[in-house]
Amino acid sequence: MINSYVLVKNLRSKSEELHFADFKFVRIGSNSDYDLKQAQKLFSRAMPLHKDWFYERNYLGDDELQENIPFDVEDTLFFLRLFKTGDIVFQNLAVETNNSELLNQLPYRIMAYIHTTQMYQFESEECTAFDAFAKEMRSQRNLTASWFRTARRFFLYGGGKEFNPFHDEVDRVVDYMTALEALLVPERDFVGRRLRERAASLLINNNTDLEDVKYVLKGFYDVRSALVHGSNISDFKDGILKRIDDFESVVRAIFVQALKTLPENDKDRKAYLKNLFDVSDRDRSEQAFKDFCSVRDRSEQNRLFDRISNYQSEAEKKKKES
């Protein structure tokens, strides 16, 4: 039998053990088999504490199963984070082989540890609901689509970053927005508007205040833009950043609905997204006029005006000829 173990941090529960269909969580120090010395032996690349947990999953079969273990662990972390909010983290995967050899995975971006006050609260009565949720998510064909794998990766990156606006630690917002763009916005213009309008359309049957969803997404997209363009985020600290819990919930709801409803094929997905919301010609003309007005050189304005006029004339000519 092959056993896989992971150090789990930021998990809180009234129970000493949580049993799921494929794995279990056991609190460090709950019994002699899961004491701190055992944790220190298994998780030599981390710092286990009494408040932390063991993840354990057993595999019956040959050593070839070892290749699947890191993917199973990452899937479990993804589904746990998707199931509910809270900063649960997995750290230091250890595999005990059939020959009792202990193998440790090197650290990587998804298996990260962060300090947080947003603990992942989970009780034993939720285990069955999580198993059903994970089974449903695994059955979705989109799970292996390239666009979804990109979104999933950045969602996991974001969940492994500390969120502390007081110290300007808000990079999680950039990763989450990148994930949402990968899901909802294959285009490169009007990105913020497309994102929030399509998100609202996806969540129309979720018993959600759609105007508030758009307000939250716009606010956090503004934070994202400020960050990536090197602007000061002080003005956001007493405003939208205080709604991080709402943003976290909205991100998860969008992920679940996208996984369930968007077509797997990229061409079909783009058509579906356009049907949810597309930018109107009026919006484009308004933006074009603003861009025209922003050209300061009068000769360049005149040249652009002539180009547009000539284009219209040529278009009318071709229309008549056809």
Contact 147, 183 (CB under 8 A): yes
Using a pLDDT cut of 70, give the percent of the chain over it: 99
Can you say whether the dihedral through the CA atoms of 61, 67, 73, 79 is positive or negative?
negative
Q: What is the DSSP letter of 247?
A: H
Please report the pLDDT score of residue 70 as a whole number: 94
DSSP 112-141: -----S--EE--GGGHHHHHHHHHHHHT-G
Q: What is the DSSP letter of 6?
A: E
Please report the pLDDT score of residue 132 as a whole number: 98
Strand partners, 9: 89
Which residue range is the domain that position 205 belongs to?
Answer: 141-276
Number of structural domains found in the chain: 3
* 268 domain-assigned: yes
Please report the pLDDT score of residue 43 as a whole number: 95
Instruction: For residues 69 and 92, state if they share a domain.
Output: yes
Phi, psi of 113 (to 5 degrees): -115, 135
* 101 domain-assigned: yes
Instruction: For residues 195 and 159, state if they share a domain.
Output: yes
* 132 domain-assigned: no
Contact 159, 9 (CB under 8 A): no
Tens-digit pLDDT profile for the chain (322 aa)? 899 999 999 999 999 999 999 999 999 999 999 999 999 999 998 999 999 999 999 998 766 677 899 999 999 999 999 999 999 999 999 999 888 899 999 889 999 889 899 999 999 999 999 999 999 999 999 999 999 999 999 999 999 999 999 999 999 999 999 999 999 999 999 999 999 999 999 999 998 999 999 999 999 999 999 999 999 999 999 999 999 999 999 999 999 999 999 999 999 999 999 999 999 999 999 999 999 999 999 999 999 999 988 988 887 877 777 7
* 136 domain-assigned: no
Q: What is the pLDDT of residues 4-20, one digit of tens each?
A: 999 999 999 999 999 99
Instruction: For residues 306 and 231, state if they share a domain.
Output: no
Instruction: For residues 233 and 167, state if they share a domain.
Output: yes
Instruction: For residues 28 and 98, state if they share a domain.
Output: yes
Please report the pLDDT score of residue 63 as a whole number: 64
Contact 57, 161 (CB under 8 A): no
